[in-house]
């Protein structure tokens, strides 16, 4: 069997809605490795936000923060901080609009406000503790991704106003802030080249808006049954939901593992 490079999103793909990994997914990952495939993670989370996944799956290859930090077997392949000048402009605009921010650094995450309900509610869905308060962290440290907290009716206040940055909505109250030229797909391209795979030999599983690029760039893009419609419209294969053993089922039907 031809060996594949396989990437799995975390939230809504590896993780179910309770932020737990179904046993069928753990079994699928084990079988994929036994078949000689390389399994990686492609997520919007920072590396320090998915240590539990690494421990349970023993996956050491990942594209994190939507392509901002790329790692294979503990070796950093690439790190891409946000443009500080434009990030500063966003911070200033967000402050005027009373919109809090969260900054993801190398080893930790920081909030621009203390005890903000929008931050608590959004990050609570990730089972993530409230970040440490440090409203000027971005001035003296590289920031690889930011979160801005506002509802969709205020998207226009930021959209298409920053040359090097784009936004992904992942929660009704929050959007990711990432570089225009970075995505999970770009990180996957780097790892594919590093590991000697063509993009046609890559399979990617996802469920969210930030998975569109990677599912359309790889040889086989798999949308979970619980995926957003925009992803189902562009995928090569739609599997069952994460709660219905979607990863395992797709791996069998795509011939990646034996049932």
Is residue 242 within 8 A of residue 248, CB to CB? The reply is no
CA atoms of 41 and 21, how far apart (whole Å): 13
**9 part of the active site:** yes
Using an 8 Å Cβ cutoff, are 64 and 46 in contact? yes
CA distances from 31 to 27, 154, 184 (A): 6, 45, 24
Beta bridge partners of 175: 148, 169
User: Count of residues for the chain?
Assistant: 259
Tell me the CA end-to-end span of the chain in Å, nearest whole number: 15
Tokens of 9: 């999103």
**Catalytic pick from 9, 11, 16, 176?**
9
Instruction: Look up tokens 């399994």; give the residue.
Output: 39
Active site residues: 9
């Amino acid at each position: 069997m031809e060996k594949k490079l396989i990437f799995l999103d975390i939230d809504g793909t590896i993780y179910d809605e309770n932020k737990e990994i179904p046993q069928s997914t753990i079994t699928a990952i084990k079988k994929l490795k036994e078949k000689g495939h390389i399994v990686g993670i492609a997520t919007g989370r920072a590396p320090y936000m998915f240590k539990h996944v690494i421990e349970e799956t023993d996956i050491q290859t990942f594209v994190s923060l939507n392509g901002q930090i790329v790692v294979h077997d503990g070796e950093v392949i690439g790190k891409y901080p946000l443009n500080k000048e434009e990030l500063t402009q966003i911070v200033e605009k967000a402050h005027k609009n009373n919109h809090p921010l969260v900054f993801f650094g190398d080893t930790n995450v920081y909030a621009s406000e203390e005890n903000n309900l929008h931050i608590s509610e959004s990050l609570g869905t990730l089972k993530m503790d409230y970040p440490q308060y440090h409203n000027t962290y971005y001035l003296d440290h590289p920031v690889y991704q930011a979160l801005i907290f506002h509802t969709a009716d205020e998207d226009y206040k930021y959209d298409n106003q920053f040359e090097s940055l784009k936004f992904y909505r992942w929660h009704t109250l929050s959007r990711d802030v990432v570089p225009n030229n970075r995505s999970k797909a770009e990180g996957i391209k780097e790892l594919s080249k590093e590991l000697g795979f063509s993009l046609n030999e890559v399979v990617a599983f996802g469920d969210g808006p930030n998975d569109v690029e990677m599912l359309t760039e790889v040889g086989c893009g798999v949308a979970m049954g619980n995926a957003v419609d925009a992803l189902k419209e562009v995928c090569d294969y739609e599997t069952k939901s994460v709660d219905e053993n979607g990863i395992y089922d797709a791996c069998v039907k795509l011939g990646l593992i034996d049932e």
